[in-house]
Structure 1
Amino acid sequence: MSIQIVVESLFGNSDAVAAAIADGARATGASVGVTPVAAAPPELGPEVGLLVLGGPTHAFSMTRPSTRAEAHGKYGAPGQAEPGIREWIDRAVPRPDLPVVTFDTRVQVKLVPGSAAKSAASSLRHHGFGRAHRGKTFFVLGVEGPLAEGEAERARAWGAELAALDQPAGAPAD
């Protein structure tokens, strides 16, 4: 199975999760590509058997131009300001048969709703990716990170699980 990971990252935390997912999948023998969202083509070739799409949660959802601008202005986020996964989904050419699993990174705060992974999965289905599922949330310590203890290992293990599946049936549907 060829896995393509498309990731948006402002502080490097989502990049670290994507790299760990890729490491875990590669450990099973899977072919994995990791692409920053700004360089991701809108159309994925037939060789891609699974798309993993992830990024940070901002204001209870996927980032928007205003939340990315705030991250750059207020916190000096070193990551790319444009585009985000929201914009990539809007321009992506849908493949209804392609399994897609989403992930997000966020600060762990009790009783705070919202998830970029949930929003992305819903948006992907709305845009014609019929097999899109919400995957996992990975936690960071504070707005800028780093990843919370054990999260990179959890991402690695999840990557191995994803590579071992014929399809991402283990991911909860929204």
Structure 2
Amino acid sequence: MTHTLVVFESMFGNTKKIAEAVADGLRTELTVEVAEARSAPAVLGSEVDLLVVGGPTHAFGMSRRSTRADAGRQGADREAAAGTGLREFVEGLAAGTARPAVAAFDTKVSRPRLPGSAARAARNRLRRAGFRTVSQAENFHVSGTPGPLLDGELARARVWGEQLTRHAHTQRSG
């Protein structure tokens, strides 16, 4: 049985909420597993036909150990701040892993023209590693570093998940 894997990193809980909303949208037509980056499998089997990854934007890209430590000093979940993030998950995917279609999202502070995107960085790294992307990197916005999510972002994340199901169906039939 094929399924979709949603892997996320979350410091303050906002990205986790988005990951769950995306998964809810995907579940309208697909079997979905959700995993935190620190406990996600390093090897993807052939049963994974769509990989969706997400994390917070830190210092214009994916978090690093130093930016997670900084988030910890700002009140982030201590275990998440000390653990493995999206960057390490993406970089750690084993060479022999399957290469399913991939989509990426992030959470970032809502400010005009704020540069950088964890989603774009993850998507680009996965594409360079041989994964085929099926969507533009998607940004979901928070009002400040600890959040909360802006109004409407959870609903938008669910709709984005529903839209991704079409890509998964195209992959199976194509």
Deviation for aligned residue 1:89: 1.2
Structure 2 match to 1:13: 14
Consecutive unaligned residues of structure 1, counting only runs of 5 or more, are: 170-174
Secondary structure at 1:129's aligned position in 2?
Answer: coil
Consecutive unaligned residues of structure 2, counting only runs of 5 or more, are: none
Quick one: distance in 2 between partners of 1:134 and 1:67?
25
Cα deviations by residue, 1:104-160 (Å, 9 ceiling, x for unpaired): 00001112211001111111123x233135421000111101110000000000111
Residues 22-61 of structure 1 mapped to structure 2, 5 A cutoff: 22-26=23-27, 28-61=28-61
Amino acid at match of 1:25: L
> TM-score with structure 1 length normalisation?
0.89
Identity of aligned residues (%): 43
* Residues 21 and 157 in structure 2, CA contact (< 8 A), matched pair in contact too: yes
Structure 1 match to 2:76: 77
Residues 18-167 of structure 1 mapped to structure 2, 5 A cutoff: 18-26=19-27, 28-73=28-73, 75-78=74-77, 80-81=80-81, 82-94=83-95, 95=97, 97-126=99-128, 128-132=129-133, 134-166=136-168
Secondary structure at 2:72's aligned position in 1?
Answer: helix
Deviation for aligned residue 1:93: 2.0
Cα deviations by residue, 1:4-24 (Å, 9 ceiling, x for unpaired): 000000000000000001111
Secondary structure at 1:166's aligned position in 2?
Answer: helix
* Residues 22 and 159 in structure 1, CA contact (< 8 A), matched pair in contact too: yes
Quick one: distance in 1 between partners of 2:42 and 2:12?
24
Q: Cα RMSD over matched residues?
A: 1.8
Quick one: distance in 1 between partners of 2:170 and 2:86?
20
> TM-score with structure 2 length normalisation?
0.89
Deviation for aligned residue 1:57: 0.1
Deviation for aligned residue 1:167: 6.5
Deviation for aligned residue 1:168: 8.2
